[in-house]
Amino acid sequence: MEKIELDYPARHAVPRRVHVGVVGSGDLEVLLEPSPDQRAHVLVNTSVDGFGVVWKSVLDRFFERFGGAASIEINDFGATPGTVMLRLEQAAEAVRA
Amino acid sequence: MSLEGSSVIYSRTSSEPRPAVHTLLRLRHVDELIWEEGRPDWAITALQLAPWVVVRRAEPRPRLWPVGIRGGLRLQRCAAWLPDAAVEDFVTPEMLATARAWRQRPCADAIPALALLDQVEAILQAHGYAGRWGPGGSVGFELASTLPCVSPASDLDLVLKVSEPVGVRDAAALWTALSKLPLRVDVLLETPLGAVALAEYAKGKSVMMLRTTQGSRLVADPWLAGTPSAASASSAVGA
């Protein structure tokens, strides 16, 4: 079990709370809620240790485009980077919907 | 290394189903594996302990199976290709369930992921899935290889073959029944197009994640090819 915390600048507010994904092998859940400050805060709880660099690269790429001031909690159960990005995009889409 | 009890051993004959994702393959020799990115020492050690690999979700190449190698640690997973001719034996999760292979494991009583399989079987039979389900993950690996790798804290991964659409209400009823078991059960519904988590499908939401041989994508119906989103996980990240 490893915890990773990252912070990103934000450009706009996030209107609502969303929850996507599932708790399950090779998958993850993303809980996203409006952040009180003008920044994005990410907390990753992952069952697989040693992938900090890959997490940072995936999250850097996501936040370059997302720009929302959100607190995001990710509970990961060994998802691939591609699946992580897909779930993050699903959460971003759900926020806009 | 072979399966305990003749009822679990299957030879490869033309009447057997083709090995699909989650199928466990026993390899003839480690040197016949074609490694995707290097050949880690832990993988060689693991294969010496149990010469079994798992078919992973990737497009098969001609006469080559996409396989994954599991080590003792969670992060010890690597990808390789196994030539068809180097497959000595195979066993699918459904075969393990049909043979009730868990009943032959020593110390199964102390390990919920093995001890509860009789109850899991009863639930799946009651919901009409007899012969279409089986254990995957570490449980499937242990039952095929007989190498102890399931711990008292292990979750139970199940694979359910559903070639025809399942109603959300039926899926939710099955999920509710499995959720009452005193351990975490992850169920993948394997459709002809890929796999969706039962936990996600049973929620009845308009979008869900389908795992396919070309990566994961968001779909509205895991039995239909149409997607509500162009997002494709395989192209999203290079790592």
Per residue in A16-71, pLDDT (tens digit) is 999 999 998 899 999 999 998 999 999 999 988 889 999 999 999 999 999 999 99
Q: Taking CB atoms and an 8 Å limit, are B236 and A89 in contact across chains?
A: yes
Residue A3: pLDDT over 70: yes
Secondary structure class of B123 (helix, strand, coil):
helix
Q: Taking CB atoms and an 8 Å limit, are B74 and A47 in contact across chains?
A: yes
Report the C-alpha dihedral over residues B13, B19, B23, B27, rounded to 10 degrees. 60
Active site residues of B: 155, 157
What are the chain A neighbours of B218 within 8 Å (beta carbons)? 86, 90
Q: Of the candidates B75, B186, B233, which has its C-beta nearest A86's C-beta?
A: B233
**pLDDT reported for residue B12:** 43
Kindly provide the ipTM of the predicted complex, given to two decimals: 0.89
B231 vs chain A: nearest CA distance in angstroms? 7
pLDDT tens column, B128-177: 999 999 999 999 999 999 999 999 999 999 999 999 999 999 999 999 99
Strands A12-13 and A28-34: unpaired
* Strands annotated E in chain B: 24-27, 34-35, 52-55, 64-70, 77-83, 87-91, 133-135, 156-161, 185-191, 194-197, 208-212, 215-219
Residue type, A50: G
Domain of A70 in residue numbering reads as: 2-96
pLDDT tens column, B102-119: 999 988 889 999 999 999
Q: CB under 8 Å to B167, separation ≥6 — which residues?
A: none
What are the chain A neighbours of B137 within 8 Å (beta carbons)? 25
Q: Where are the alpha helices (DSSP H) in chain A?
A: 52-66, 81-96
Q: Taking CB atoms and an 8 Å limit, are B236 and A93 in contact across chains?
A: no
Count of structural domains within chain A: 1
Identify the band that residue B18 occupies on the pLDDT scale cut at 50, 70 and 90.
low
Residue B31: pLDDT over 80: yes
Q: In this structure, what CATH number is given to the domain that contains residue A11?
A: 3.30.230
**pLDDT reported for residue B19:** 63
A30 vs chain B: nearest CA distance in angstroms? 13
Unique residue bearing structure tokens 């070639």: B163
**pLDDT reported for residue A49:** 87
